[in-house]
Chain A
Amino acid sequence: MDQLPVFFDLKDRWVAVIGGGPQAARRAELALRAGARVRVFAATLGGDFETVIRHPDRIAHVPRLPAAADLEGVTLVFCADGDKACNAAGRDLAKAARIPCNVVDTPEWCDFTMPSIVDRSPVVIAISTAGTSPILGRMIKARIETMLPAAYGRIAQFVGRFRRKVTVAIKSFDGRRHFWERILEGPVVDRVLAGRDAEAAAEFEVELAAAAAGIARSRTGEVYLVGAGPGDPDLVTFKALRLMQRADVVLYDRLVGDGILGLVRREAERIYVGKLPTEHTASQDEIGAMLVRLAQEGKRVLRLKGGDPFLFGRGGEEIERLAGAGIPFQVVPGVTAALGCAAYAGIPLTHRDHAGACVFVTGHSREGKVDLDWTALVRPRQTVAVYMGLSHLAEIARGFVDHGADPALPVAVVDGGTRPEQQVVIGNLADIAQRSEAAALKGPAILIVGTVVRLHETLGWNATGSQTS
C-alpha cells in the first residue's frame, strides 16, 4: 500500500485553495461539503465558482497569492492554479508551515492525493490509484456508482437510528448479525430507498419484534416488474440493474435480448414465458399464477419485460393479480421501444415544425383484422408510433390512406431498434409495405408515421444499417 487512506474531519476548520479555475472550484466545493471554511486565493474567480460562492459565510475570496501569515490556522492547502509557478509558491509556503498540501496534476509535490469519491453520505467511498491513473480511478468510481443507489446513504441513516434498539432487543451477536443481514437484503431497504420511511419503520418494528421473540418469520417474497428498455443493454436503468442482480428467479419474454439477460444474477433461475406473435408459451393467466406462486414460496421474482411494463406490457394485469393475492411488488419503468427507436433512428417524435402530439398504439390484430381507431390517428401535426405492426404493415398503411391520410406521408420502420442489427426502412404510406418486404425485416419493429420521419435524413446518427429511400 503506497498511501494510507484516512477520513479527515474538516468541520469548521480552515482550508486554503490557490487558484480560481474549475479545478480550484471543485476542491473548494468538496471542502465545503465536508463542513470546512474555505479561503480562495486567486486574482479572479471563474464561472465555476458561481455555485460554490453561494455559501458566503463559509467561503472568502482573497484576490492575491497567499503570504505566510495567511496560512496560520489552516488545516489543508490545495494548490489548484493553472499556473505552475503559483502552485509551487503555495506548496513551499505549506511545506514551511508544515501543513499537508495537495497540488493538482503534480503527484510528486503532494503530501496527500485526492481520491475519486462516491458520496452516499454518511457512506463515503474513496478510491485511490496513488496518482498513477486518475482515469482508472474514475472508471472504478463509475462501476461503484452503478452498484450503489443514489439514496444509499439513507439506508445507513435509517439503520443508525435503530442500532441501539436492536442491540437491546437481540442479545446474541450472531442473532444481531443475522437480523441485520435479513433487513439489509429485504423490502425494508427498498421502502427506505423509495423515501417511504414511515412504512419502512413499521415493517422494521414487526421484524424486530419477531426476531426478539425468537420467531422465525418466513421471508415474504416479492415481485419486481421491471422494464428492460428497447434492447440495447446500455439503456437499462440503474434501478432495473440493481433488482436484476438481486432476483432469485426471472420470468422473461422474447423482447428481452441475451445482452440484457446477461445482466441478471447468474444464480437466478430463468423461465421463458413467450411470446412470439404466433406461439403462446404461457398464457397471461399462467404467468400471473406463476408470479404469485413463486413469491409465496418466498422468492424474489423478477418479471422482466421489453420496453416499459406499463405500455403495452400488460403489466397492469399482472400487478392486479399480485395486489389481489397480497404480494408486495415494485414497478420499475423503462425506456419504451418507440423512444429507443426514435432516438437511435434520429426521428424526434415531437418537433416544432412537424408534430405537437404523439400517440402510441399496437398493430395487433383481433380475429385477423387490425383494430385501430383511424379517425383519431389520421390527424395533422401528430406522430403515430405503432408497436407490433410489422406483420400487418400493408393493412395499416392502407388504413391510413383509406381514412384520408396523404399517401405520400412519410413512414419509418425501425426493426431491431437500438440493437446492433437495427435496420431503418424509410418510405411513405404508399410504398412502405413493399420496401420493408424487400428488406426482409425480422421484427420486433416499430412503425413511425408522420412528417417527423423526414428528419431522419439529417439526424440518422446511427447510420449503420439504415436504408434510406
Chain B
Amino acid sequence: MARAGRVALVGAGPGDPELLTLRAARLLAEAEAVVYDRLVPQAIVERARPGAMRIDVGKGAGHHPVPQDTINALLLRLARSGRLVVRLKGGDPFTFGRGGEEAAYLVGHGIPCEVVPGVTSASGAAAALGIPLTHRGLATGVRYVTGHCRDDAPLDLDWSGLADPGTTLVVYMGLANIRRIACGLIEHGMPADLPAAAIARATQAEQRLVVAPLAGIADAAQALKDQGPVLFVIGRVVELAAVLGADASEIERAYA
C-alpha cells in the first residue's frame, strides 16, 4: 500500500532566514514537495531538501494569483501521492495566511495536517526597528488587521473598533488601501498626529522604515511602493523608533 502523505503548514517568519524556527527548518530538510508564496524569500526556499519539488504559488494583488481552490487541490494531490508536503507561508500560517482554510480542507479530506507557527511579520518588524508593540504608558495591547480586501471588494473594517488609541494597530498588506484606512481611523476619532510607521522588508538587509503622523502616512509610504508588501504600525509606540531603533539615519521622517 502506498505510504500516506501529510502536509505541514509552516510559518517561514518575517524574512530573515535566521528567524526560521528549528522545526520549520527540519521539516524543510525532509520535505518532498514545497509549496510557497511570494512572501517567502528564496534563501528560505533553498533550505528545502535537494530534489524536493518546489512550487511557487506566489500571490500578488492583481498579478493573477493562483486561486485558493487550485492551491487546495494541489496540496491534496501532492499529499495523496504519498509525499511529505511543506506548505510554506510568510510570517505565521494562522494569522492572515489563510492557513485555517487550507488546513480545514485537507483535514476534511483525511490528510494529516500539522501547523508550525512562525514569527509574524509584526514581531519581526518591531524587533528590527526598535518599536515595542506594547509598552508601559503607551499601549496595553495590539490589534492586527489586514488592509487587503478580496477581489477588490470594498474595505470592510470595523472602524470604531480599530480607532482605539490605547492599542497598537498593525495593518498587514495595507499599502493599496492605506489612504482610506488612515482617513477612516481619523474620522472615527484617532488623532491625526498619532505616529505611524510603514515598513518594508523588515529583518532583511534591505529593510526600509518610514515614519509620519497618521494623516501623512499614506503619502510618506509611497516611497516604499516597489519594495514588496508593506506593514503599518500605528500608535504611540512608534515614537520609540527613534530612541530605541537602529540608528536614526535609517529612518525617513515625513511630516504632513
Contacts and interface: CB of A to CB of B under 8 A. Distances in A.
B123 A195 contact: no
A464 interface: no
B115 A311 contact: no
Contacts of A334: 119, 123
Interface string B26-52: 100100000000000001000101110
Given A26-B51, A373-B167, A346 B103 contact: yes
Contacts, number: 238
B81 interface: no
B127 to A, nearest CB: 4
B133 interface: yes
Interface stretch (A88-96, A207-215, A313-321, A397-405): A313-321
Query: Dominant SS at the B interface?
Result: mixed
A41 interface: no
B127 A333 contact: yes
Interface in A328-352: 331-336, 339-340, 342-344, 346-352
Contact of B132 (A26, A196, A315): A315
B14 A348 contact: no
B180 interface: no
Contacts of B98: 352
B227 to A, nearest CB: 15
A380 B158 contact: yes
Contacts of A242: 18
A461 B132 CA distance: 32
Contact of B112 (A199, A342, A344, A461): A461
A234 B18 contact: no
Nearest to A29: B50
Nearest to A316: B132
B5 interface: no
B127 A331 contact: yes
A54 B26 CA distance: 29
B62 interface: no
Contact of A359 (B103, B124, B143): B143
Contacts of B49: 138
B25 A357 contact: no
A347 B18 CA distance: 26
B22 A238 contact: yes
Residue from A145, A229, A348, A455 with most neighbouring chain B CB atoms (10 Å)? A348
Nearest to B10: A343
B224 interface: no
Size band of the interface chain A makes with B? 35 or more
Given A333-B19, A333-B124, A344-B115, A358 B244 contact: no
A235 B117 contact: yes
Contact of B134 (A150, A311, A333): A311
A411 B39 CA distance: 32
Contact of B143 (A150, A335, A358): A358
A311 B142 contact: yes
A75 B36 CA distance: 35
B136 A308 contact: no
A241 B22 contact: yes
A343 B21 contact: no
Contact of A459 (B18, B100, B118, B247): B100
A332 B128 CA distance: 8
Closest 6 A/B residue pairs (Cβ): A195-B205, A348-B100, A316-B132, A361-B141, A343-B117, A150-B17
16 contacts: A151-B17, A311-B133, A323-B243, A331-B126, A331-B130, A333-B14, A335-B11, A343-B93, A343-B116, A343-B117, A346-B103, A348-B99, A376-B143, A376-B164, A380-B158, A455-B100
Given A195-B206, A310-B126, A316-B244, 12 more contacts: A308-B126, A343-B116, A349-B94, A350-B100, A351-B101, A352-B98, A360-B142, A360-B143, A360-B144, A376-B143, A418-B117, A461-B115
